[in-house]
Chains A and B, each alone.
Chain A
Amino acid sequence: MAPMSPYADTKLAAYLTKRILELRPRKSQLEIAVDAGFINVNMMSLLKSGKSKVPLDRVPALAKALEVDPRLLFRMAIQQSSYETTSEVIDEIFGTIVSRNEVVWLEALRDASDHKDPALTARSRAALRSLFNK
């Protein structure tokens, strides 16, 4: 028998829950569902609980409704669909999908390193971990 919430443990389900909570003061879950073009107004609940997965063709509208980067959402939607090989193929053909925030990180990295293309060393990893208390 198939699990009731096959996508409950995916990053996207957790991310949607967090983002909907963040938007709650000014945008209801229903409004988000309508803005994203879902006919079923319970769709956001289904996505949060992991009972349904985010359809790839809904990613642009859902990203807009959630006011988040569509690249981030697309990457998570691919992962959620267990298309690991698809994800790799997309990277290979179209290049690494980076979000707007990641662009800012990379620009900061280039600026800080004077465009020397620094390798990610053990020291760098430790410093990044400490930045995020990991």
Chain B
Amino acid sequence: MNKVQSSELMPSLEDITENERAWVGFLRLITNDLDPAPTLACVQAMRRLLSPCLRGPD
């Protein structure tokens, strides 16, 4: 996967990938660009969601 340069200067984040850009784009779409902070419940839901991804594509 090609890397996409990120303008974010926070040292903890490396350049984002095309896939990550798609995630961010979709997040912006469904939140109407309101930039919500992820809650604990969201992070837990994301973990549950991505477990099957590790086993292969759906």
Contacts and interface: CB of A to CB of B under 8 A. Distances in A.
Interface in B23-48: 23-24, 26-27, 30-38, 41-43, 45-47
For the complex, would chain A's binding face be called helix, strand, loop or mixed by DSSP majority? helix
Interface string B1-35: 10011111010110111011111101100111111
A113 interface: yes
Contacts of B1: 117
A107 B12 contact: yes
B1 to A, nearest CB: 6
Interface residues of A, number: 44
B38 to A, nearest CB: 5
Contacts of B8: 71, 95, 97-98, 102-103
A131 B45 CA distance: 8
Contact of B7 (A97, A121, A129): A97
Given A71-B8, A97-B7, A108-B46, A11 B32 contact: yes
B16 A116 contact: no
A64 B55 CA distance: 44
Contacts of B38: 101, 104-105, 108
A102 B35 contact: yes
Contact of B49 (A72, A98, A124): A124
Interface of B: 1, 4-8, 10, 12-13, 15-17, 19-24, 26-27, 30-38, 41-43, 45-47, 49-50, 52-54, 57-58
Interface of A: 11, 15, 18, 68-69, 71-72, 75-76, 94-109, 112-114, 116-125, 127-129, 131-132, 134
